[in-house]
Amino acid sequence: MLAMRAMGAALRRALLHGAGSSCGGAAMAGDSGGGGGAGSLRVGAALGRPQHVVDLRSDTVTQPSAAMRGAMARAAVGDDDYGEDPTVNELQQMAARILGMEDALFVPTATMANLIAVMCHCQRRGAQLLLGAQAHMYVYEHGGAAQVAGVHSQALQDLPDGTLDLEQLELAIREAHGSRYHPRPELICLENTHSSAGGRALPLTYLQQVHLLAECYGLRVHMDGARLMNAAVAQGVDPAHIAQHCDSVSLCFSKGLGAPAGAVLAGRREFVAEAWRVRKLLGGGMRQAGVLAAAARIGLEQAEETLRRDHDNARHFAQAGTLPRPGGLHGRRSTPENMQVSHRHRNRATSQQHNCLSRAVPLMAPINAPYDSGCVAAAPLCSACTKSSALMSSALPNAWHRTALLKTQALPQSTFSIHQLSMLNS
């Protein structure tokens, strides 16, 4: 036990003082850019052997690919604030087409996209939006709807699958609808995939029911679709098939799609025209933004291939049979300090199968650590393996479905994410 804690402390020091930028981020970079190899070696030195880092914090620590970096360097640019950046314009048209919307607006972050949507849909101060109590917009976006837009958020209890109880939702709307004493309900916000519910994709029938309910009472629906592409790939449908049930939708490029920054907000043409004005108000108007849009376009073009590979890797990992299931013994959460994950693969040279076992070092996050708070661990790679050994933990609340970012030895330019495992392991 003491030895394992000492190894964890050594790894923490190596990541904090040796990796350069944020904890684990530079160490993840490896061959895909800028100092990551040195970070990995420092981690290895701390543990007494060469290591690659598996970063469990978030899929936001993905690194742009070589193709993205090249596209950024070659991007044709103009002044996007004047609507003259050709790369941004192409990305917006492409995103609108994929999402089945009339128009789309490129913005710096998905948080800004969500806030713009709220401000466009709820133009009366004191209006009410309804959303889940564990929704990212409610918990992790600093109450922008209240601070900036003057909009009241009524949080409803999320169900385990990330949905809201439709009867409870209708009751909340009906109580306020037409009342002189309640805030006016104007907007329903959904999150898809739902991060705090384990990355579950919301059922299509549920989205349709919410949309019909909103229409019945004259409300609009906005989808926080930061990981909408994950939902589309998991459900085997076009993104537009999901977004058709919403009046507006945001999509983030800097998570599983791997771009360094950027998001889009899509909806009807008049909605996007108003969104442009609100973006300007919030300071989100950019100039030669095509440099960022070029990387986002690569991520969007390769989304299905990238995320399908991620889901396959996640499924392979979840089915390894060694992940602790939630609840642990006697109904309590299992919190091992280390764990083992093995997988079977075929050696390409000999066509013989063998088992590969990877042992994890102690996890470095307390049991009550919040989402994205920082949980970093390392796992050695099998020298004969064409895949990376995988690692995941239950040391965070619901962390057994958190994001794992792996660096493969055989594919030095391919940093991929294993996103939200619970829907695959439940």
Q: What mean pLDDT comes out for the span 360-387?
A: 32
Question: Is the pLDDT reported for residue 300 higher than 90?
Answer: yes
Half-sphere exposure of 411 (CA within 13 A, CB side): 11
Average pLDDT value over all residues in the chain:
73
Does a structural domain hold residue 136?
Answer: yes
Residue 141 lies in a domain: yes
CATH number at residue 133: 3.40.640.10
The string of pLDDT tens digits covering residues 338-368 is: 222 333 334 444 334 333 333 333 333 232 3
The predicted model gives 103-119 an average pLDDT of 98
pLDDT for 61 equals 85
Q: Is residue 259 part of a domain?
A: yes
Encode pLDDT of 399-421 as tens digits. 323 333 333 233 233 233 333 33
Residue 155 located in a structural domain: yes
Name the residue range of residue 154's domain. Answer: 66-304
Residue 235: predicted pLDDT: 95
- Would you say residue 330 lies in a domain? no
Q: Quick check: is 284 in a domain?
A: yes
60 within some domain: no
In a domain, 310, yes or no: no
How many structural domains comprise the chain?
1
Which position has the higher pLDDT, 393 or 293?
Answer: 293
226: pLDDT strictly greater than 90: yes
Whole-model pTM?
0.68
pLDDT in tens, 42-98: 444 555 555 666 666 778 888 899 999 999 999 999 999 999 999 999 999 999 999
Q: How confident is the model at residue 8 (pLDDT cuts 50, 70, 90)?
A: low
